[in-house]
Structure 1
Amino acid sequence: MTSMENIKPDVGGMSALSSTLVGDKSASKMSSHSAVSEKKSSSEAANRVPSPTDKDKDNPAADTRNMRRIIAEDPEWSLAIVPTLVELCIKHLVVNFEHNSKVLHDLEPKHKVMLLEKISTDIPLKVTALLVDDEGYWKRCCKARWQICDVSAYGRSWKRMYFERHLQRIIEQFVPETTDSTELTETLPLCSGFVRKLDIRQLLPPVREAPKMGAEDDISEADASDTMEGPEIDHFDFGAVLPSLPYIEELSIVYGVHDAGMNFEWNLFQFTARDCLLLAKCVAACKTLRVFRLNRSKVDDDKVRVLISHLLDHPSITMLDLSHNIIGDRGARAIGKFLNNHSQLTELNIYDNNIRVAGAQAIAHALTKNTLLTKLDMRLNRLGDEGGQAICRALLKNTTLSELNLGSNELSEPTAAMLSQVVVQNTALRSVELSCNRLGPDGGKQLQEGMEENDTITYLDLRLTEVGQESEYCINQILHQNRERARAKRLRISIPSKGSPSPSQSVGA
């Protein structure tokens, strides 16, 4: 009993033990929490951005904590400043220039330049033709329309170039009886003050219906192209254009079609009698025309006679070019009459035709009386020695012709002999072309002897003439001396001519 009583639970001890365990557990939890806090504090301290120093306190941008990255919601947003009121007005005028074009004259020069640099090149000509004179604008118009723009061929005027090429395109693409003439009639008043030259490189014929042929009438295409030229087809009438161009000075025309391809027909290249008559009347009435070219148009004797009959005593034409045609002796006689004090011509080009002896004699006769012509080109004809000698005899009397081209004319030694007399007596000639003629060694020697007495000719072409290397070399040396003499004369340096005494000889005498 006593022993069992003695074994009683120690409630106080257990309570103390329990409190001790609880205290230890709380202490452990607090110490763990403290360790985590210290670890977190050390981590924050490591990642914390250092505060700005006293040196950077005056520059807020130095502290990256105060900077924000701005992302614009507007994709067109930029740092550009707001446009000025002037720029806004110019922008409005550019957009509405076609309807508010009259305001151009009221702008200040600097604002006018800003406007003309921005307006579109597609604005109708009826708006810009008489209003805009700025060369920069017309330069943009030309380059926007054509890849090749050689403004030097148009008096270095971009506006003139635009209107001349624009009118050229309208005429070259005009199909008689098919094309509406509204564009042409509207364009002429706009460009009349700017067109000085027209270079028409093709003229389209009217569109005709293909003939209906039965099986028995069928022929091959080769036979049709070789044997049938078809009816004559008249082309564009220049009577609707030339009277509206008061300042035109040059007119070049080709009656033909470019790039005919598989549509080729001989009648596409015909210069009809009616075409000739209408053109002759137009040119005769155009008193400002100085240069007239009609090339590659199959102009024959009858047509050139019609042309010349209307051009007699024309007051202003100084250059006539009828090259690459089929003019014969009858046509050459008409040209000779034109040269015989009935024209103001200073240059005549009739190369690549069918002119023979009779035609050359007619032109030679006119040269004996003509006092204005300075350049004559008759290469690629069939003059022969008789025709060549006739021209040379005329030059013994003529005192104005300075350039002569007789290349490829079936000339030989007799013509060279006559020409050797010409170069001795004639002091007006400066350039002579004799290439592609069989003058031979004897002809070369005679020319050499004549050139030794000449001090004015600076160019003599003897290629493919078989004159011999020795004669050709000697003549080239003489030509070089003549060129140097002419150059010295231009520089007003006195060089004694052949046969005259030198200054030392004059003093000694």
Structure 2
Amino acid sequence: MAQTIQRFHPNAKPSGFIPSLSELCAICIGENLDKVLAESTIPIPQWLLPLDEFGEKVPPEAEKQFISHFFLSPQSCWTRHFPIFIKSIPTDLDLSIAALALDDDRYWKARCEATWTVTDCPKTLRYKNYYFERFISECIEQYADPFQKRNLLSQLSSEKHNHTLVSSSSNSKSLSKKICEKQDLKPFHTKIVGQSEAGSQAILDDMLMLIMLFDIGAPFVSSLHIKQLPSHLHPILLITHLTNLISLSVRYSPLSSGMTYSASDSEEGPTATDCQRWREALPQSHLTSLCLSNNSLQNKHVKILSFGLLENRTITQLDISHNELSYDALNSLSQCLHPKSNPILSVLNLENNKFGSDCGNLFGLILAHNKSLTVLNLKLNALKDEGILAMCRGLTENTTLTSLNISSNEITVASIATLLQALRNHPTLRSLDISCNDLHGAPKKLFVEALNGDVLRMIDVRNTHLSASDEEEILSIGREKMKEVG
């Protein structure tokens, strides 16, 4: 028995406890899973099928009975030792093997904890999905980045395993160039790495590996949050290879040690070429949510993007907050929201741009005619009283909006009565945020009457210079109405 232990588990320490042979097999298979799969032509979980006395496999019916007893019954060896098997699998196992062969979340939790110091996996997400979404996001962030010394892609070419991710064939060079030329990416890579042919080829090879990673992780990735994109990677690569991706957030500017307080603080945003690529990619996109917040987007960029949005039939949530957009950008967006374009956009975040009071009339026209928007965020846009009054004319004709945020817009008591009157009889609006405006002197009666309607449930009046008692009473009425509707 001691020899058996040493054979199957050479690292075992001397102990009075002698594990069973089946337990040692589970450990051995786990520690050498890549070799087991590489040498076996039998699919999981049929590695341990019994042989008859002549060394031949048993008949199919007996084989099924054995599988049912050995693998599936509660008292089976495999069921008893499966946790040991999972625990024995190396956390740096080749991703191409782990993705296909392992679905147990205990393994992926261990792999996450071995890869990152802090793991904040949402309770609604499996660790396997969390691993691939975070790992791919970080690989994209560090791909072709001259400022990053650590490259996560190097984990995919570890010498410890015989990786299927890395192509050793003689034509890998031509294949990577072919992919890059097809996506019109070669000029940018040349700019990144200078005129060095060796450096340029290294970037192309990394890109080939990145695409392979996309293909491996595609079944498990539905959301990506990319915090920097120094490579200006073509979005068509994400859309065509990550076929389950429905939510995408991209920030082009390199990460800095300090906090970005305004759009103008951003060091670098997307170029006109980037926007043109988005225009080409959006009609083919299966995304439902796109966030390009904090990217120093200008009117000319949104004008290009709007052509792609016009042809897109899946995106329902768009976030272009914290940019440098004004009237011309809104005019471009209005074409995507016009009934003739059959809009499907329901959530639009335009927070912290430069629309100003001169955009109030255009916002009103959009709201009067659009039948898809349900959530609109216009926070921090200096709309002022003039812009709000102009927008009210469209609000009275709107029939779909459920949430409106116009906080921090320099609104005063001069426009609040008209606004609340327009919203009092609104058929769908449930939530209004007018916090952080100077409403000093506005009578409490206006807010109470608005909340006494059938639909409006909450008005956020925090930090509006109302008296503390008035503010608390208005908020309290809203909280009670929210409780009533569940």
Do the two structures share a fold, i.e. TM-score over 0.5? Answer: yes
Partner residue of 2:7? none
Once the two structures are superposed, the pairs formed by residues 108-507 of structure 1 within 5 Å of their partners are 108=71, 109-110=78-79, 111-152=81-122, 155-175=124-144, 177=189, 178=193, 179=203, 180-204=206-230, 235-259=232-256, 268-286=267-285, 288-341=286-339, 342=341, 343-441=343-441, 443-445=442-444, 447-448=446-447, 450-451=449-450, 453-469=452-468, 471-472=470-471, 474-476=473-475, 478-487=477-486
8 A contact 1:204–1:268 mirrored in 2: no
Residues in 2 aligned to 1:192 and 1:200: alpha-carbon distance in whole angstroms: 16
Output the aligned Cα RMSD: 2.5
8 A contact 2:395–2:423 mirrored in 1: no
8 A contact 2:451–2:478 mirrored in 1: no
After superposition, the C-alpha distances for 1:291-319 in whole angstroms (9 at most, x for unaligned) are 00001110010101111111015211111
Residues in 2 aligned to 1:98 and 1:473: alpha-carbon distance in whole angstroms: 63
Taking a change above 3 Å as real, the CA distance of residues 452 and 327 of structure 1, as seen in their structure-2 partners, is closer
How far residue 363 of structure 1 moved from its aligned partner, in angstroms, is 2.2
Residues in 2 aligned to 1:474 and 1:96: alpha-carbon distance in whole angstroms: 66
How far residue 371 of structure 1 moved from its aligned partner, in angstroms, is 1.9
8 A contact 1:292–1:320 mirrored in 2: yes
* Unpaired runs of at least 5, structure 1: 1-74, 206-234, 488-509
Taking a change above 3 Å as real, the CA distance of residues 420 and 238 of structure 1, as seen in their structure-2 partners, is closer
Residues in 2 aligned to 1:453 and 1:76: alpha-carbon distance in whole angstroms: 75
8 A contact 2:461–2:475 mirrored in 1: no
After superposition, the C-alpha distances for 1:418-475 in whole angstroms (9 at most, x for unaligned) are 112123321422111111222231x335623642642432221122323345643553
Larger mean CA deviation between 400-409 and 144-153 belongs to 144-153
SS at match of 1:327: coil
Partner residue of 1:105? 45
8 A contact 2:351–2:381 mirrored in 1: yes
8 A contact 1:416–1:444 mirrored in 2: no
Taking a change above 3 Å as real, the CA distance of residues 378 and 330 of structure 1, as seen in their structure-2 partners, is same
After superposition, the C-alpha distances for 1:461-496 in whole angstroms (9 at most, x for unaligned) are 122323345643553454355335434xxxxxxxxx
After superposition, the C-alpha distances for 1:381-405 in whole angstroms (9 at most, x for unaligned) are 0212121112222221112211111
Residues in 2 aligned to 1:426 and 1:76: alpha-carbon distance in whole angstroms: 74
Partner residue of 1:36? none
How far residue 365 of structure 1 moved from its aligned partner, in angstroms, is 0.6
How far residue 377 of structure 1 moved from its aligned partner, in angstroms, is 0.4
Partner residue of 2:51? none
Taking a change above 3 Å as real, the CA distance of residues 348 and 139 of structure 1, as seen in their structure-2 partners, is same
How far residue 282 of structure 1 moved from its aligned partner, in angstroms, is 1.8
SS at match of 1:372: coil
Residues in 1 aligned to 2:475 and 2:15: alpha-carbon distance in whole angstroms: 73
How far residue 409 of structure 1 moved from its aligned partner, in angstroms, is 1.0
Taking a change above 3 Å as real, the CA distance of residues 140 and 77 of structure 1, as seen in their structure-2 partners, is closer
Taking a change above 3 Å as real, the CA distance of residues 429 and 452 of structure 1, as seen in their structure-2 partners, is closer
Larger mean CA deviation between 105-114 and 314-323 belongs to 105-114
Partner residue of 2:75? none
Higher Cα radius of gyration? 1
8 A contact 1:423–1:450 mirrored in 2: no
Relative to the length of structure 1, the TM-score reads: 0.69
Match of residue 16, structure 2, among 57, 75, 79: 79
Residues in 2 aligned to 1:267 and 1:316: alpha-carbon distance in whole angstroms: 29
How far residue 245 of structure 1 moved from its aligned partner, in angstroms, is 1.3
After superposition, the C-alpha distances for 1:54-87 in whole angstroms (9 at most, x for unaligned) are xxxxxxxxxxxxxxxxxxxxx9644223x33223
* Unpaired runs of at least 5, structure 2: 1-11, 48-70, 72-77, 145-187, 194-202, 259-263
8 A contact 1:138–1:159 mirrored in 2: yes
SS at match of 2:219: coil
Taking a change above 3 Å as real, the CA distance of residues 453 and 200 of structure 1, as seen in their structure-2 partners, is same
Give the letter aligned to residue 112 of structure 2.
Answer: C
After superposition, the C-alpha distances for 1:228-258 in whole angstroms (9 at most, x for unaligned) are xxxxxxx222222321111111010011111
Taking a change above 3 Å as real, the CA distance of residues 466 and 105 of structure 1, as seen in their structure-2 partners, is same
Larger mean CA deviation between 267-276 and 239-248 belongs to 267-276
Partner residue of 1:495? none
Give the letter aligned to residue 414 of structure 2.
Answer: P
Corresponding pairs, count = 377
Residues in 1 aligned to 2:22 and 2:468: alpha-carbon distance in whole angstroms: 76
Which stretches of structure 1, 4 residues or more, deviate above 6 A after TM superposition?
A: none
Q: What percent of counterpart residues are identical?
A: 29
Residues in 2 aligned to 1:292 and 1:77: alpha-carbon distance in whole angstroms: 57
Give the letter aligned to residue 245 of structure 1.
Answer: L
How far residue 266 of structure 1 moved from its aligned partner, in angstroms, is 8.2
After superposition, the C-alpha distances for 1:326-355 in whole angstroms (9 at most, x for unaligned) are 011110112222222232111110000000
Residues in 2 aligned to 1:100 and 1:141: alpha-carbon distance in whole angstroms: 20
SS at match of 1:252: strand
8 A contact 1:420–1:449 mirrored in 2: no
8 A contact 1:385–1:410 mirrored in 2: yes
Residues in 2 aligned to 1:424 and 1:169: alpha-carbon distance in whole angstroms: 47
Taking a change above 3 Å as real, the CA distance of residues 424 and 260 of structure 1, as seen in their structure-2 partners, is closer
How far residue 260 of structure 1 moved from its aligned partner, in angstroms, is 6.1
8 A contact 1:417–1:446 mirrored in 2: no
Give the letter aligned to residue 105 of structure 1.
Answer: P
8 A contact 1:444–1:472 mirrored in 2: no
After superposition, the C-alpha distances for 1:174-201 in whole angstroms (9 at most, x for unaligned) are 1162432232022122111111011100
How far residue 100 of structure 1 moved from its aligned partner, in angstroms, is 0.9
Taking a change above 3 Å as real, the CA distance of residues 472 and 400 of structure 1, as seen in their structure-2 partners, is same
SS at match of 2:220: coil
Partner residue of 2:185? none
Taking a change above 3 Å as real, the CA distance of residues 185 and 116 of structure 1, as seen in their structure-2 partners, is same
Relative to the length of structure 2, the TM-score reads: 0.72
Taking a change above 3 Å as real, the CA distance of residues 118 and 474 of structure 1, as seen in their structure-2 partners, is closer
How far residue 88 of structure 1 moved from its aligned partner, in angstroms, is 3.1
Partner residue of 1:93? 29
